[in-house]
Amino acid sequence: MDLTATPEQETFRAEARNWLEANVPAEPLPSFDTAEGFALHRDWERRLSDGRWSAVSWPEEYGGRGADYLSWLIFEEEYFRAGAPGRVNQNGIFLLGPTIMEVGTAEQKARFLPTMASSEIVWAQAWSEPDAGSDMASIRSTATRDGDHWVLDGQKIWASRAVWADWCFGIFRSDPDSERHRGLTFILCPLDAPGVTVRPIRQLDGDTGFAEIFFDGVRVPVENTLGDEGRGWYVAMATAGFERGVSLRSPARFTEAAARLIELWRTHADPADLALADAVTDVWMQAEGYRLHTYQTVTAMLDGTPIGSESSLNKIFWSEMDVRLHELALDILGPEAERMHGPHERWVDGFLFSLSGPIYAGTNEVQRNIIADRVLALPKGV
């Protein structure tokens, strides 16, 4: 065990810090769930990519730096420290990208990864359907083979970034006689293809961060199949593993937010209110604990231990911590927290955003079932 950084890691950190200090926009960008904000975030991604900082853990041939996961964590610490913009192509770079690297063909890697790293193509995810939420295996959207094309029909919902994104990825039932996890195929589809209709859904925060996607006889070449036909569930699970594992919410996001919360406490709270001081301390410990836990997990991954169902523990932990952290910020602000547009807008927005955490990427109740079944080996329930 050695919890100090190596000279190489310190050099990497300094390089990232210098680049970010010179390049991060001075003013925060508008939300990427608005037309203007989306375009500005795509520009930012292009600048990141030009500096080869958009996908640091990817191999160099696809626009990355071939950095190991520990270096990725260091980059994330610097990224959040610098207050850099949110990642508009997160669905691509952190979810689909690693999946393509794992199961994609050489042709698919060359075709999709460089444009993903540069955000020339921004990706939306299309998992859920009106009747397939927590019960994702109930998917009914279909992919019907017609020569060398798939014909897609059906409806997806809660598709993040779909309003302004270029392409989407999702799973479709390709075997009409199949049930549940079998007979599903993972397909990549441009959102401007004939027959695709995107209907924005206004979120709790007022922005249109997700959408419904209707597929009506959409023709997609079979080259857009990721992984084997009929094996889409397992390809998607690999993606979901990454999503709930370490890549979706790096610890730096929370240690940085906890540091801002402490600053808010110092400037706005009554230090004699020990209950509030204790609550802030608790959430700081959670953020710090998540950071330490992630460093331990990542060291194990570098030693060759794959991340498994324990990633469900991470997802519950960070999502509940994030809600608590923002609730506390609003408590410190008191009646000021009612004001949507003011000096504390970021905390109010952050509170609304945090509430999605316990729901998306598999509700925390589903995660608890996964932990009980696969980690604690309890008998299967309903």
Partner 1 sequence: MRFAFDEDQRLFADALRKMLAEQCTASQVRAVWDDGVGHDPALWARLAEMGVIGMLLPETDGGLGGSMVDAVLLFRELGRAIVPGPVIESMAIAGPVLAGSKWAAGIASGELVATAELDGTGHVPHASVAHVVLTPEGLLDLAGAEIDDAGGIDGGRRLGIVRGGGLVDHDGRSTADAVDLDAARDRAAVATAAYLIGASEAMIDMAGEYARQRHQFGKPIGSFQAVKHLLADALLKVEFAKAPTYRAAWSVATGAADVARDVSMAKALANEAAHATSRAAMQVHGAIGYTWEADLQLWMKKVWALERAYGTTSWHRRRVSSAVLSS
- The distance of closest approach from Cβ of residue 274 to partner 1 in the complex, given in angstroms and rounded to an integer, is 8
Active-site annotation holder among 45, 76, 243, 256: 243
Interaction of residue 9 with partner 1, rule CB under 8 A: yes
Q: Could you give the CA distance from residue 174 to residue 151 in angstroms, rounded to a whole number?
A: 10
Interaction of residue 272 with partner 1, rule CB under 8 A: no
H/E stretch holding 8 reads helix 7-23
Interaction of residue 275 with partner 1, rule CB under 8 A: no
Which residue, 177 or 278, has its beta carbon nearer to partner 1? Answer: 278
Active-site residue, 243 included:
yes
Q: Determine contact, residues 13/74, Cβ cutoff 8 Å.
A: yes
- The distance of closest approach from Cβ of residue 278 to partner 1 in the complex, given in angstroms and rounded to an integer, is 6
Interaction of residue 378 with partner 1, rule CB under 8 A: yes
User: Terminus-to-terminus CA distance in the chain, angstroms?
Assistant: 43
* Token code pair at residue 218: 């959409």
Q: Which of 132, 222, 352, 372 binds partner 1 (CB under 8 A)?
A: 372
- Give the long-range contacts of residues 199-204, CB within 8 A, separation 24 or more: 200/163, 201/157, 201/158, 203/33, 203/356, 204/352, 204/355, 204/356
Q: Determine contact, residues 343/274, Cβ cutoff 8 Å.
A: no
- The distance of closest approach from Cβ of residue 286 to partner 1 in the complex, given in angstroms and rounded to an integer, is 8
Q: Determine contact, residues 290/251, Cβ cutoff 8 Å.
A: yes
Which residue, 103 or 259, has its beta carbon nearer to partner 1? Answer: 259
Q: Which of 281, 327, 352, 363 binds partner 1 (CB under 8 A)?
A: 281
Interaction of residue 94 with partner 1, rule CB under 8 A: no
Residues 32-91, interacting with partner 1 (CB under 8 A): 70
Interaction of residue 5 with partner 1, rule CB under 8 A: yes
Q: Which of 194, 272, 303, 343 binds partner 1 (CB under 8 A)?
A: 303
Please, what sign has the CA dihedral across residues 332, 338, 343, 347?
A: positive
Angle between helices 251-268 and 69-81 (to 10 degrees): 30
Q: Could you give the CA distance from residue 347 to residue 134 in angstroms, rounded to a whole number?
A: 29
Interaction of residue 317 with partner 1, rule CB under 8 A: yes
Residues identified as active-site: 243
What residue ranges bind partner 1 (CB under 8 A)?
1-6, 9, 70, 262, 265-266, 277-278, 280-282, 284-286, 288-290, 292-293, 295-296, 298-300, 303, 310, 313, 316-317, 365, 367-369, 371-373, 375-382
